[in-house]
Structure 1
């Protein structure tokens, strides 16, 4: 049997590791931060800021709640 092709989203997120992104959660909450890690269940951002300016050290989000991710830099 042939080797399974990786999911496109996994390939892109690997390229975006350690870069600044914006994440939309449930379509109504936005967070920016550095993408540190991800798997099939969660993503982890560090040095996080929400859309109102609140800051945090890290954010753990269930991947099912993410609507989109945008690369900032």
Structure 2
């Protein structure tokens, strides 16, 4: 029996938890916020803002809708 290797994305997001990130959704919409939590289906950001100035408390995004995530803090 072989030991399962953890996914790189999971390990990276664990290190980025509670830090400020930028998320690209669908390659068109950019949001900044604090990465609060994630699982195999969704990512949760807190204290969210988009690049047009709209702000919100939390954003729940499906993982398969995310184009990329960048650590900015």
Decide: shared fold, TM above 0.5: yes
| 1:26 corresponds to 2:16 | no
| 1:70 corresponds to 2:67 | no
Structure 2 match to 1:6: 6
Divergent runs of 4+, >2 A:
none
| 1:38 corresponds to 2:34 | no
Superposition deviation, residue 68 in structure 1: 0.1
SS of aligned partner of 1:13: helix
In structure 1, stretches of 5+ residues that fail to align are none
Structure 1 match to 2:17: 17
